């Protein structure tokens, strides 16, 4: 995976070549990712779905993150990113069913790791059942949802913790219910501006 080649871009978004995933994260090179957020509706209220990253993941294991996401390889188009939804969640969605939000830049830095992403963001109105998810356990350990209103308040630091509920899978694939309160340390890092633009886009399209 570290040897996969990705398109790289300058600070103005102009494509300047390719590099391996390892090089991209070591040097902090701009590259493209595909992000899909599932948005549900219950009793007139919207909620947002998060994946729980697998404990096997090299980066940010066991953290809550985007419903489905992945890097776009050098030979792929943005539309090819929908493969992540099938691979990670086991859902067959078409690009026609997604609402494009546009791109949002996002930077994550820690020792030896600089992740500069041009994130292609999409939304999908999800009306399925929990049973519909077929998780790739090497990538995803569970799915939880939270009230969109509460998540917005949480991102704005109006509340200190966020209630989520859903399920996790064990090593055998058996599902176990999850219902708990989470705090900032429970999430994979994303910039506050990323979440602000995401919540605004959800409000315009689904609320």
- Domain layout of the chain by residue ranges: 5-206
Q: State the number of CA atoms in the 13 A half-sphere of 45 facing the CB.
A: 9
CATH topology of domain 5-206: Nucleoside Triphosphate Pyrophosphohydrolase (3.90.79)
pLDDT beyond 70 at 14: yes
Q: Give the pLDDT of residue 205.
A: 87
Q: How far apart are CA 91 and CA 85, in angstroms?
A: 6
Beta-bridge partners for 117: 31, 106
Specify whether the CB–CB gap between 134 and 89 falls below 8 A: yes
Torsional class of 112: left (φ above 0), alpha (ψ -120 to 50), beta (otherwise): left
In angstroms, how far is CA 168 from the centroid of its own chain?
17
Bridge-based pairing of strands 175-182 and 113-125 is unpaired
Q: In terms of Cα–Cα distance, which of 94, 119, 114 is closest to 197? A: 119
Q: Give the pLDDT band (50/70/90) at residue 139.
A: very high
User: pLDDT, tens digit, for every residue of 52-74?
Assistant: 999 999 889 999 999 999 999 99
Contacts of 174 (CB under 8 A, 6+ apart): none
Provide the 3-class DSSP secondary structure of residue 114.
strand
Q: How far apart are CA 57 and CA 59, in angstroms?
A: 6
User: pLDDT, tens digit, for every residue of 26-57?
Assistant: 999 999 999 999 999 888 889 999 999 999 99
Gap between the terminal Cα atoms of the chain? 38
Q: How far apart are CA 153 and CA 147, in angstroms?
A: 10
Rounded to two decimals, the pTM is: 0.95
Q: How far apart are CA 19 and CA 5, in angstroms?
A: 5
């Amino acid at each position: 995976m570290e040897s996969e080649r990705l398109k790289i871009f300058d600070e103005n978004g102009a494509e300047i070549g390719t590099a391996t995933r390892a090089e991209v994260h070591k040097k902090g090179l701009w590259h493209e990712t595909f992000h899909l957020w599932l948005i549900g509706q219950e009793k007139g209220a919207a909620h947002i779905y998060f994946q729980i990253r697998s404990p096997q993941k090299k980066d940010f294991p066991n953290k809550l993150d985007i419903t489905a996401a992945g890097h776009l390889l050098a030979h792929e188009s943005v539309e090819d990113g929908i493969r992540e939804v099938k691979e990670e969640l086991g859902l067959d969605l078409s690009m026609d069913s997604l609402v494009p939000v546009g791109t949002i830049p996002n930077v994550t830095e820690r020792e030896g790791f600089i992740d500069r992403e041009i994130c292609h963001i999409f939304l999908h109105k999800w009306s399925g059942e929990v049973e519909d998810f077929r998780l790739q356990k090497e990538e995803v350990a569970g799915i939880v949802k939270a009230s969109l209103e509460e998540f917005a308040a949480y991102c704005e630091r109006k509340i200190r913790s966020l209630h989520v509920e859903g399920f996790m899978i064990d090593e055998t694939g058996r599902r176990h219910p999850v219902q708990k309160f989470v705090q900032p340390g429970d999430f994979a890092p994303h910039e506050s501006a990323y979440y602000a633009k995401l919540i605004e886009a959800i409000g315009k399209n689904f609320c």
